[in-house]
Amino acid sequence: MQDTFNVIDPDRGTACANVARTFLNEDSCFYTDAKSACEAESFDPYKNFRQKVSVIMTPDLIRGIYNYTGKGADETLYVYAVDGLNVKEDQTIAYPCQKNAKSRWIPVSCTGAATSVDSTIHGIFAQLLFNSYDTNVFVRDIINNATGSCPTILEKLVGFEVQDQSGKCWKNVHPNHLNVYDFTYWTKYHPGNSISRNPIKEFAVAGNTRLFFPGWHSMDRWYNNRVNFGFAGRLGDEVNYFDLPLSLRSPYLNRLYGFVPEKISFPNATGTIVCGSPNEVAVDTNLDDSDRQGSFNSVTWGFSIQSFDNLVRQKRIIWTEIALKAPDQLRQRVAWILAQIFVISSEADLLTEAITVYYDIFVRNAFGNYRDVLKEVSFNPLMGEMLTYYGSRSLGIAWLWHKRIEYPDENYAREIMQLFTVGLL
């Protein structure tokens, strides 16, 4: 999703009347030089200003997000680097010895443990680690593309140590070790929450920037719940702003990052292409109580567009009125059912135009072809955010930009089979 930054008032970014242009909506796009329309094209993360828009995922930044968003108040975001994941008990991960498997390593003090590792295995990984282009100071990811192979009897070996040719020692760890996630969802829905205790919040309250996965938990708990946490990169990574989870991209947090979106636009541009849903009703900026900045407004008792919260309430009221009172009740109910199958994050509620365009897919195709629904959902940026393939790069691009072997995200492909079509087998 292109960020919804309002060029008139940065704090009213959710009122932006634009979404990304795609082959699905381009027939309804039009050109405007109105300053109230967001320039979606200026937020394309793959244009030539890409390297200028980066956030370094440091412990200080993680702590800064907590402090900046409220220090425990209702709107606080809880971001941590995860620690304590047991690589020896997780049966879902690739083993380092598997051909082309990615494995993660951390620098450790040399204890002599490397000498007890099979010499063939030690030689393979010592060489791979020594030749790695990964410059992260906390972790190092490598791909087993070695010409030699591990002994068959030891191909599932994990958690071992090696010493590379420079004399530096490394220990194999869980592939998600020190990944940074937005755990705010888990502060609300963790099964261990109680009136007197919130285990996930406790780490931030104590001043920690790492969340320690309890040793008594099964690794299945991590595997089954990880999809709920917005991935923000590895601790120490320089992350492109547009690769951050949606929850960590807002006009408010931009100040913490020192990111000024309006400065990364096309200086010679005199207007922008505005896109939305096919057959969309035009905005009426002359309504009473309208902010007259090109944003949608509806006058309802007790609510006006004066804050993010009121904007969300207005949209919900409008949706409820349509869903319950529109003459095409069967269409509305089928659309609701489809929306419960192709779910997206509630964070999208703040993206006025984007969430409307997404829901319109189901209203428009309620009596149509399921394949068409799946196609439009697959190309929608909000689903790209939800199931993590937004910004996914090919192996070649990852190497060109980061000198790192990184495979494309396949999470959505799995969900198409598991949840959206054939179901669990």
Q: What is the pLDDT of residue 307?
A: 52
Query: pLDDT tens digit string along 115-174?
Result: 999 999 999 999 999 999 999 999 999 999 888 889 999 999 999 999 999 999 999 999
Q: What is the band of 396 on the pLDDT scale with cuts at 50, 70, 90?
A: confident
More confident residue, 405 or 84: 84
Task: Give the CA distances from residue 285 to residues 28, 125, 198, 290, 307, in Å, rounded to whole numbers and listed in that order.
Answer: 20, 63, 45, 6, 18
Q: What is the pLDDT of residue 336?
A: 94
Q: What is the pLDDT of residue 387?
A: 87
More confident residue, 187 or 410: 187
What integer is the mean pLDDT of 232-236?
95
Half-sphere exposure of 395 (CA within 13 A, CB side): 6
Q: What is the pLDDT of residue 48?
A: 38
Distance CA 43, CA 260 (A): 11
What integer is the mean pLDDT of 407-415?
86
Query: pLDDT tens digit string along 271-307?
Result: 566 777 777 666 555 554 444 444 444 444 444 444 5
More confident residue, 386 or 182: 182
| Long-range contacts formed by 63-70: CB under 8 A, 24+ apart | 63/207, 63/209, 64/256, 65/248, 65/253, 65/256, 66/204, 68/252, 68/253, 68/255, 68/256, 69/252, 69/253
Q: What is the pLDDT of residue 259?
A: 76
Query: pLDDT tens digit string along 33-66?
Result: 654 455 443 334 334 334 457 899 999 999 999 9
Q: What is the band of 106 on the pLDDT scale with cuts at 50, 70, 90?
A: very high
Q: Of the ranges 35-49, 102-116, 321-335, 389-403, which one carries the lowest mean pLDDT score? A: 35-49
Please state the pTM of the whole predicted model. Answer: 0.59
Pair of tokens at residue 243: 């690769």
Q: What is the pLDDT of residue 268?
A: 46
Q: What is the pLDDT of residue 56?
A: 92
Pair of tokens at residue 329: 């009740």
Report domain extents, the chain.
Answer: 10-49+264-386, 51-86+178-257, 102-173
Q: In the predicted model, what is the mean pLDDT of the chain?
A: 80
Q: At what angle do helices 329-341 and 352-364 cross, to 10 degrees?
A: 120
